[in-house]
Amino acid sequence: MTRRLSWSRRLGLLLVLPCIALAVSAPTAAGMVGESEADTALRRISPLEPGEAIAPKARVTIVSDTLHGYVIPDPYRWLEDFESEEAQEWIEAQQSLTDLVLGRVPGRERIRNRLSELLEIPSLSSLSLRDDRFFFRRREADDEQAVLYVRRGLGAEPDELIDPEKLGGDDAPVGIDWWYPSRDGKLLAYGTSESGSELSTLRIMHVDSKELLPDVIPHTRSASLAWEPDGGGFYYTRFPAPGDVPEGEEQFHRRVYHHTLGDDPLDDPLVFGGGLDMRAWTGAQLSNDGRFLLGYAYYGSAENDLYVRDLEGNGEWKAIAEGLGARFSGAAIGDVLYMRTTLDAPNARVVRVDLTRPEETWVDFIPEGEHSILDCRCFGGRLFVLYLKNAYSHIEVFDTDGQRLGGIALPALADVFDWAGEWDGDDLFVAISSYLQPPQILRYHVPTADLEPYMAVEAPIDASLYVEKQVWYPSRDGTMISMFLVHRKDIELDGSNPTILTGYGGFSVPVSPGFARNRYLWLDAGGVYATPNIRGGGEYGEAWHEAGMLGNKQNTFDDFIAAAEWLIANGYTRPSRLAVWGGSNGGLLVGAFVTQRPDLAGAAIAGAALLDMTRFHLFSIGSIWTPEYGSPDDPEEFEWLYAYSPYHQVADGTEYPAVLLETADTDTRVHPSHALKMTARLQAATTSDGPILLRYERQAGHAGGTRMSRILDALVDEYSFLFGTLGVEY
């Protein structure tokens, strides 16, 4: 029997933007505008004068899909063709409205000025050590993007290698997507793309002369690359050129090829992945001596297969792990692979594999423990294991017999966001930060276990004024969830603090305490910043991830909702002072929160969000996410997806909080139509005074390659939206 889901005829209702009512009492020392306990005074962002623009009505069409017995209306399907003239006119009108509303928020110029100061704090990231050459990225106060530097000698002055601002024009900024130095550090393979599209082109530079080789290879998005020891060539991943596969499949079929310097890339031989499913995400890795080539085939974020090929004598591929439904990765030293795996170990363990007999020689090396093993690497003749202990980073050191030699004494609450070293070197460089600690790089001397500062970012911030702590709270099913809280020491828990609740909860990605410059704008205004470690993430091992994926995805949303309830119950805030904020998979989290518990927040920001879970797999690279979410083509998995799909769970006549939806026209991960359709649907359905706004970026993508001036513009809009809707005057 066909089940029909009806939507009200109120589709197309105009968004109402009433006037602002800021001062109920004088601002407090924390910068908040007073409000009655009953919240009877409406907080409204912007007055509209007679004749001024209102939200453009989105055309409603009679379009539906029939899936597994459900008839699903999709009245804004036409917005999926976001480049059409009609859609572009609608987008322009929406953006004009957003500019009008946010431009009238009191204190907007003060917000911009303070953010400008904060964004001048430098950044430091992306470490590589090759011989005595140390590569890193750093952005200074006046840089639009981070610049790639090299130190030729660990005590030498940094030398600029690539400033992306010198590669592109004003209309199409170029970003550096990834880079791989050769074994001796004298050559650099790197990928660039325009406008944040992540559709990279590979180029090769002589590090000393900075001259480019003639080798240019397109279609290398998110490349995995392994240099041969002599620097004469490398193994790398790329996608097929348009026309080489059926139309629409160019973003799949990522395979491993070999390139010899000076050869025509069109003649590069395929070496791995030819017989795999087209959506297998492949990767390449070489042993330190170049003898063994590892081939990875990823199927979502929970499992991958791993193969090895002995390049001496052109050996055949052998399976190390195939069809086992777990994760496998590691470091290959000579003929030994130190392999991290989640097989029979949700918190992961490390085994030692003889690469000459990979199918029969797994030896337990470091057993699974109470805390999750996030990574393991080989530096200075030792094995270094990165653990997450209650979402904080901790590093343990082992010898090649598996004996523990000690740990690295990192500062409390540290997040290790990168590390670099070499098997035959003496130094390990560890990049750390925390909510209150700007990025710094520590140098660990392996033979002596001495730890000392190497590089750091200076920030004019007095950390003693703030508190960073971790609390625990029960979710809906009783599972205890950890949450990080950051705020000024002098706030009172009287239920009036403006609070940002943010999260991710997907793809086994851990959310750890990290430094964010812009956050101090919020903290100094008396705001609270809360980040729960919800299920679906990787903070507590693979079991934690699996508890928030596929048919368990509702746990992720329940954990996030429970965090909001805990913050309210414990006097940090109240619904009218609470904002939820997330991007990408975190944007899906926000969309589900808004549609499931609109009463718990006064504002929401969803950036680059997945919102139509019945059609996400039809656009861009969405189909490779079906192992994480499920496939709408499968009847059972469709039931999971439809039950929480934010676009479909919007209900007419509901008082939704104010919502800012963000997207970009060159986002090649999450299709812009998610935000466009959700904007139209919420504007038609809401009965509250909270505005539903769209922020549409041009010449911008999902991540990377964004100029600091545009990041500043986005942050000014986002914080203006939050201050205006929550009744906070900066």
pLDDT at 15: 29
Show which residues are catalytic.
Answer: 584, 702
Q: Does residue 574 sit in helix, strand or coil?
A: coil
pLDDT at 45: 53
C-alpha 454/C-alpha 434 separation (Å) is 17
pLDDT at 198: 82
Q: Exposure pattern of 456-479 as b/e (b: 16+ CB <10 Å)?
A: ebebebeeeebbbeebebebeeeb
pLDDT at 168: 75
pLDDT at 248: 78
- For helices 708-726 and 108-119, give the axis angle rounded to 10 degrees: 140
C-alpha 605/C-alpha 98 separation (Å) is 13
Helix (H) or strand (E) holding 285: strand 281-286
Give the CA count within 13 Å in the CB-facing half-sphere of 15: 29
Name, in order, each residue with C-beta under 8 angstroms of 576's C-beta and a sequence gap of 6 or more.
35, 39, 43, 602, 726, 727
Question: Which residue(s) pair with 728 in the sheet?
Answer: 32
Dihedrals phi, psi of 102, to nearest 5 degrees: -70, -25
Dihedrals phi, psi of 309, to nearest 5 degrees: -130, 125
pLDDT at 42: 29
Q: What is the CA radius of gyration of the chain?
A: 26
pLDDT at 36: 35
- The encoded tokens of residue 506 equal 């997907």
Q: Does residue 141 sit in helix, strand or coil?
A: coil
Tell me the average confidence (pLDDT) per consecutive run of 10 residues in the chain, 730 residues long: 31 27 27 32 42 73 94 96 94 94 95 97 96 96 95 97 87 89 98 87 98 97 96 96 81 93 97 92 97 97 97 90 97 97 98 92 94 97 97 96 95 93 97 96 97 96 96 98 98 96 98 95 97 98 98 98 98 98 97 98 97 95 94 97 98 98 88 96 95 89 76 96 93
Helix (H) or strand (E) holding 635: helix 635-644
Enter the CATH code of domain 123-286. Answer: 2.130.10.120
DSSP for 394-406 reads EEEEE-TTS-EEE
C-alpha 372/C-alpha 533 separation (Å) is 14
Query: Strand order in 382-389's β-sheet?
Result: 372-379, 382-389, 392-398, 404-408
C-alpha 679/C-alpha 58 separation (Å) is 9
Name, in order, each residue with C-beta under 8 angstroms of 153's C-beta and a sequence gap of 6 or more.
132, 133
Strand locations in 574-723, DSSP E?
Answer: 578-583, 603-607, 658-664, 692-697
Amino acid at 409: A
> 640: closest CA among 616, 671, 664?
616
> Going by DSSP bridges, is the β-strand pair 255-260/233-238 parallel, antiparallel, or unpaired?
antiparallel
> Going by DSSP bridges, is the β-strand pair 440-445/450-456 parallel, antiparallel, or unpaired?
antiparallel
User: Could you give the C-alpha distances from 17 to 101, 109, 183, in angstroms and in order?
Assistant: 8, 22, 60
Q: Does residue 715 sit in helix, strand or coil?
A: helix
Name, in order, each residue with C-beta under 8 angstroms of 120's C-beta and a sequence gap of 6 or more.
141, 142
Tokens 């899906």, residue? Answer: 588
Q: Cα(first)–Cα(last) distance of the chain, in Å?
A: 56
Quick check: pTM over 0.85?
yes
- The encoded tokens of residue 43 equal 């907080």
**What CATH class does 3-117+462-726 carry?**
alpha beta
- The encoded tokens of residue 635 equal 């009847």
Q: Does residue 673 sit in helix, strand or coil?
A: helix
- For helices 673-685 and 85-102, give the axis angle rounded to 10 degrees: 60
Is residue 197 left, alpha or beta, with left meaning phi > 0 and alpha meaning psi from -120 to 50?
Answer: alpha
Amino acid at 616: F
Give the CA count within 13 Å in the CB-facing half-sphere of 265: 21
